[in-house]
Every structure is written in C-alpha cells, then in structure tokens.
C-alpha cells in the first residue's frame, strides 16, 4: 500500500520545482519534505528524483506521478457523490501539440476548467512525439497524431487538421520562380517546428522531392506565421491558424494543390474516472465542430 503523504511530497516537489517551495506549499520544513522523499525511495528501493543538473522525476518517479493524477481524478468523482469531502482543485497534466493550443484547444477546455475547478499543466510537444510522455507516465492524457494507444489507455479520434505550405509572395518569387522544382526545394529555406517534425517531409514527398533542404527551427506556432510573413521561409501552417491570423499581407499558398492532413487523437488512462469520460466527450464535441470548419 502506498503512503500517499510520501507521494504528495513527490508531486509537490515536481510541481513547485524544489524542496523549499514544496515545503511552503505543504506547510512543512524543507528537511521534512526531503525526509519524505528519502523514505519513499527507501521503500521502493530506487530513486524517484534526479537532482542534478536539473530536478526531474526518474522513470519510477514519473509512473508514481501518473498514478497520483489518476487518484486525483477518482477522488473528484467521489467528492461528487459525497459532497462533505474536501473540494480541493484537481491538477491535470496533458501533453498536446502547439498548433492545437494556438487554435481550438483553449475554447474547448475553458468552460470545464471554470465549472470543475480544473487546473491544467500543458506540456507542449510535437504531435508526432507527445505520446512518449504517456508511455513514460509523465502525463495523464495526450493529444497527438498517433493512433496507437498506450497499454491501459484509451484512444479517441477527434478529427483532422489540414496543413498547407504558406510563404510570402516575395519569397516565392525569389526561390520558386520556375515552379516547385527539385533545385528550388534544395535551396529554399523551410520553417520547421522541431527535429521531430515530419510535416515538411510529408509535404515534400507529395511534391516528389526526397532530398535535403535548408530550414529554420521555430518551436512556436505564432512564430511560424511571423517568419513566413517576413519572407524567411515557407512553413506548414494549419488552416485554422491561417484563418485566425488573416489577413497577413503578402502570405500566399506555395502549393495550392497540396494539403497535408494531420489526424488528432486524444489519449487518456482508462482509470481516470467519470471526469475523464466527461472531458473526453467535451473535447469530441468541440473538436468536431471546430476542425470540420477547417475543411
């Protein structure tokens, strides 16, 4: 049986980013928090925290953090059935892609956060790799492009986000005056979200190009629009974001006949209780309405 006071100490240390701040949050001394972590590690026979160079959870610690989130969700269901229990806020850690955050996500989840008193830790990951966070036990749910559920989790298709290659017209005239040729793709700078971003490769494959290409790295959805509008490169930008940013002077579709659809899947642990089922139904409704508009 887990000692949940020890688990609470681990959760608070990670959330606050240190032993001293965790002590303030729990009403304990820094030494007392440290002792609880040491006792937890002693009982497990392995460390739960890596202290240097930065404070973070070990693989075992991440699994405990995920368990703690599931327990919080189940306790929320119990509080609904027994109102006399305390009504502390629930904190939910979710991995999601930056483009969803920049477009439809906030409107979809805001009402349930207000109504349920939900606090959300949003971990921004590329849509192709966010599921790794769930496999590591670091998050309770994930919004990503993978349709392969983690063991013990459910996977629900929310919809698709169409992406198109947008660039400034002066950039297009400079690099693609002769059309979408292999020589043009080999020298024209692209804008890529991160090293795991595969959208550019999918687009280039559609255009019949499979070679190397220069690129700027920009881990920001808003930055994509700004860099493209400034003529620094072409970027794969979702229709929803282009609509929100319109009108951007000079921004044009580099390849009107090519669109790269990205499917978005919502992953969550099966033992998340009624609250996760309710949140999932809200996201399905919101995503269906919003993402269908983009087609």
List the CATH number of the domain containing 191: 3.40.190.10
Structural domain total, the chain? 1
Q: Is residue 82 part of a domain?
A: no
pLDDT of res. 84? 46
Domain span holding position 215: 161-262
Q: Does the pLDDT of residue 236 top 80, yes or no?
A: yes
pLDDT confidence tier of residue 78, bands split at 50, 70 and 90:
low
Tokens representing 209 are 């190009």
Asked if residue 167 belongs to a domain, the reply is yes
Tell the residue number behind the tokens 């280039």, with chain if given: 204
In terms of C-beta density within 10 A (0-12 exposed, 13-18 middle, 19 or more buried), how is residue 281 classed?
A: exposed
In a domain, 79, yes or no: no
Specify if 43 maps to a domain: no
Two structure tokens written together for 39: 């006792």
Strand partners for 157: 265
Determine, yes or no, domain membership for 219.
yes
136 part of a folded domain: no
The pLDDT value recorded for residue 173 is 96
CA angle 272, 91, 134 (to 5 degrees): 55
| 226 Cβ contact list (under 8 Å, min separation 6) | none
Averaged pLDDT for residues 221-226: 90
In a domain, 3, yes or no: no
Please write the tens of the pLDDT for every residue from 241-258: 888 776 788 899 999 999
Q: Answer yes or no: is 113 within a domain.
A: no
């Amino acid at each position: 049986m887990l000692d949940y006071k020890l688990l609470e100490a681990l959760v608070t240390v990670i959330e606050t980013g240190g032993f001293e701040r965790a002590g303030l949050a729990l009403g304990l001394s820094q030494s007392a928090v440290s002792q609880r972590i040491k006792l937890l590690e002693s009982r497990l026979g392995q460390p739960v925290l890596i202290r240097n160079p930065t404070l973070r959870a070990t693989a075992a610690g991440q699994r405990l953090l995920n368990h703690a989130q599931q327990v919080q969700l189940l306790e929320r269901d119990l509080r609904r059935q027994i109102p006399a229990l305390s009504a502390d806020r629930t904190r939910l850690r979710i991995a999601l892609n930056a483009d969803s955050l920049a477009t439809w996500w906030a409107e979809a989840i805001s009402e349930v956060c207000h109504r349920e008193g939900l606090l959300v830790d949003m971990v921004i990951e590329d849509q192709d790799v966010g599921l790794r966070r769930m496999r590591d036990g670091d998050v309770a749910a994930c919004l990503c492009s993978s349709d392969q559920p983690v063991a013990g989790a459910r996977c629900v298709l929310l919809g698709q986000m169409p992406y198109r290659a947008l660039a400034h017209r002066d950039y297009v005239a400079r690099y693609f005056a002769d059309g979408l040729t292999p020589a043009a793709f080999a020298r024209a700078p692209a804008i890529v979200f991160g090293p795991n971003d595969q959208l550019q490769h999918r687009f280039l494959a559609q255009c019949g190009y499979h070679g190397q290409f220069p690129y700027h790295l920009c881990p920001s959805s808003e930055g994509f629009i700004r860099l493209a509008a400034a003529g620094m490169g072409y970027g794969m930008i979702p229709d929803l974001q282009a609509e929100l940013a319109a009108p951007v002077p000079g921004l044009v579709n580099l390849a009107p006949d090519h669109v790269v659809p990205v499917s978005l899947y919502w992953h969550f642990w099966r033992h998340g209780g009624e609250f996760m089922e309710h949140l999932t139904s809200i996201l399905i409704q919101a995503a269906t309405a919003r993402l269908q508009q983009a087609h």
